[in-house]
A and B are shown apart, each in its own frame.
Chain A
Amino acid sequence: MNIIISNSSQHPIYEQIVTQIKTTIMKEAILPGDALPSIRSLAKALQISVITTKRAYEELERDGFIETVPGKGSYVSGQNKDLIREKRLTAIEEKLTEVVTESKHLNLSLEELQSMLQLLYTEEN
């Protein structure tokens, strides 16, 4: 797992960690049940404060991506596949809404849009 922290980023450090661990989980580079580094060893590796890593892990836990067993450590959550699918579907929906709005601005008909989509979809494969 790679985590790269930018000090000049607009995003707070804990948020950068959250996003990168989420991506790693979504890409299935780490799998349900896999252990994450301990809060203190991650702080050491990234040279950031313990409080910051703690906050990142709490956030990941709240979003259902990881589970923490007191005294043992944190693990990639088992149920997150559906959750991730759900999240990705929402993301697609958002992008499609954008496309629809833009199409309407250009007076593009549903049929025209559908054929465009069909072309793109088959081309991809």
Chain B
Amino acid sequence: MDNILEIQNLSKSYKNFTLDNLSFNVERGSVMGFIGPNGAGKSTTIKLIMNLVKKDSGNINIFGLDNLKHEKEIKEKIGFVYDENYFYEELNIIEMKNILQPFYKSWNDTLFEKYIKEFELPKKNKIKNLSKGMKMKLSLALALCHNAELIIMDEPTSGLDPVFRSELLDILYNVIQDENVSIFFSTHITTDLEKIADYITFINKGKLVFSQPKDEIIENYGLVKGDKELLDSDTRREFVSIKETSFGFEALTKDIVNARKIFKGKGLIERASLEDIMVYTVRGNG
């Protein structure tokens, strides 16, 4: 399977934060969710991919090409959706589009018009008067109308309501009906877009925790709940981290099958959500 994005040993240091030797790949035609708590290094990674900040070391290949040497041709085929507003607030949608359009050789104006209509965006309104959801839709329309093969989104749903988030999910499902398109998005709200993700890459404190097919993660991790008497030095070792209260314990295991054997008939064993996995892993690292 060919990779549309390859990140190898990527590092970047700031005064209070280090992105440490990060490596993972995104397959062509797949959707990857990039998760981690605030400050884990998600935005830094995305800025490095887009060459908005300079890396200290490591390699980033996009479409098989080095992201620095071939920056211009790579960016032609990337649709970038940023969480902060990077538009000129005083312009309206059409004026903004007219500024961006010349940067892309394969700009498709008919497609842009189609999205504007579909997303019900008011063409003549100044961008500063658009709601957050509308700005996000504008950002998407601009990202989707130049035949991009890789859609990169940094926290596309932060601050948006559940109705919009579900709408965004539908839009993304339409986008991936084309099997050449890959989507890479970051989020700290795991329940959001996790439905559509084929793979999950999880980072914490600048380090990779895992990069795996989502189904594998969901099938392997588990939550064990029960009486604190079940915890001893042996059983404790089974867990990523344990939360103990005066009423019992709750703990995360990476191996639900083994946990079922060990705690057979004692304690409750459930599937863990990505949110559980994130919370318990971050706590275990703290």
Stretch at the interface among B34-42, B190-198, B274-282: B190-198
Interface size class of B (residues with CB under 8 A): 20 to 34
Residues of A within 8 A of B176 (CB): 40, 43-44, 50
| A41-B177 in contact given A47-B195, A49-B31, A51-B30 (Cβ < 8 Å) | yes
A47 touches B196 (CB 8 A): yes
Residues of B within 8 A of A22 (CB): none
B214 touches A40 (CB 8 A): no
| A14-B215 in contact given A50-B30, A51-B30 (Cβ < 8 Å) | yes
| A12-B219 in contact given A40-B177, A43-B173, A49-B214 (Cβ < 8 Å) | yes
Q: Which residues of B, 138-183, contact A by the 8 Å Cβ criterion?
A: 169-170, 173-174, 176-177, 179
Interface size class of A (residues with CB under 8 A): 10 to 19
Residues of A within 8 A of B199 (CB): 51
Cα distance, A47 to B195, chains bound together (Å):
6
Please name 27 pairs of A and B residues whose Cβ atoms are closer than 8 Å in the assembled complex, sorted by A.
A12-B218, A12-B219, A13-B215, A14-B215, A40-B176, A40-B177, A40-B179, A43-B173, A43-B176, A43-B196, A44-B173, A44-B174, A44-B177, A47-B195, A48-B195, A49-B31, A49-B195, A49-B196, A49-B198, A49-B215, A50-B30, A50-B31, A50-B176, A51-B199, A51-B213, A51-B215, A52-B215
List residues of B whose CB falls within 8 A of some A CB. 29-31, 169-170, 173-174, 176-177, 179, 195-199, 213-215, 218-219
